Amino acid sequence: MSEKFLCHYCQNSLQGKKYVEKDGQCCCLSCFDKHWANTCEECRQPISADSKEVHYKSGYWHNTCFCCYKCRQPLATETFVSWENKILCNKCAIQDTAPKCQGCLNSIVAGDQNVEYNNTIWHKNCFICSNCKQVIGTQSFFPKDDKFYCVTCHENMFAKRCTKCNKPIKTGGISYQDQPWHSECFVCCNCSKELSGQRFTVVDNQYYCVDCYKNVVAKKCTECRNAITGFGKGTNMVAHEEHYWHDYCFNCKNCSVNLANKHFVYLGEQVFCPDCAKKK
């Protein structure tokens, strides 16, 4: 008589039944589920001997439980991506792992044209001016207070404006008494010579180069007939009855002593010290 064919665990007959051989021992399906079956990572139920099983790394799933974490697409026979301990289909993996556009909040995938600034990223057509809403794309722009402006809007809204022409000062420019100017606007009011980097003077809010000030504006010394400019030697001026002198030209006509800041006598349109005036 042949030896009985029994389950190693429950001792029930396996004759004519399905069974599983494990580590040299035969067992019925019920005992296999109880003693040997892996637990499904998804449903936490045993994966029976007659079920299809998916094994990935150290985990096990029923083939019907091995699905995309987000869209639930079955992945037993599909390619997939493991991301942060989650199983994802390729489509959902791209959506989850790809950087997000700061404009539309959608994923930026391979092949998309994009703009990166200060560790943030946009689709090229989503990177727009905060004022006019026109696409900046890869053109020049100006960041200000967490906003971005195209060159034109930044100039119109924030650039300094020239005191003379009131147009934006795009580059360069000069400043005089806290007022901004284009260098080509800061000119002599008489000859239009640019005054940037040059000596000039201001009379009644009009700007003059040195030459025009001498020739057009400055008083003429009654003695030497040269302009009293306030530049260089003789910066001080002496005035008397609509007559003007350099301080170093204001001398006694007779003894030549300098009379600036001293008593003098004006006789016959000439200047004398008191002593010489007594002799007249």
Residue type at 44 in one-letter notation:
R
Contact indicator for 12, 28 with CB cutoff of 8 Å:
yes
Contact indicator for 267, 275 with CB cutoff of 8 Å:
no
What DSSP assignment string belongs to 250-267? -B-TTT--B-TTS--EEE
Is it true that 98-156 and 218-278 share their CATH fold? yes
Task: Supply angle C-alpha 264, 265, 267, rounded to 5.
Answer: 150
Could you tell me the fold of the domain covering 218-278? Cysteine Rich Protein (2.10.110)
Q: Within 10 A of 186 (CB to CB), how many other CB atoms are there?
A: 22
Kindly report, residue by residue over 96-138, the tens digit of the pLDDT.
777 888 888 888 776 678 888 888 889 999 999 999 999 998 8
Kindly report, residue by residue over 28-75, the tens digit of the pLDDT.
888 988 888 899 999 999 998 888 999 998 899 999 999 998 899 999
Q: How far apart are CA 68 and CA 61, in angstroms?
A: 12
Q: Note if the pTM is more than 0.85.
A: no
Q: Domain 159-216 carries which CATH code?
A: 2.10.110.10
Where do the domains of the chain lie? 98-156, 159-216, 218-278
Contact indicator for 36, 25 with CB cutoff of 8 Å:
no
Closest to 252 measured CA to CA, from 244, 240, 263, 236: 263
Domain 98-156 in CATH 3.30.1300.10: no
φ/ψ of 257, rounded to 5, equals -70, 140
CA 233 to chain centre: 51
* Radius of gyration, CA atoms only, the chain: 49
| CB within 8 Å of 230: residues ≥ 6 apart | 201, 237
Closest to 89 measured CA to CA, from 118, 66, 112: 66
pLDDT confidence bin for 254, thresholds 50/70/90:
very high
Kindly report, residue by residue over 164-192, the tens digit of the pLDDT.
998 888 777 888 888 999 999 999 999 99
Kindly report, residue by residue over 74-87, the tens digit of the pLDDT.
999 888 888 778 88
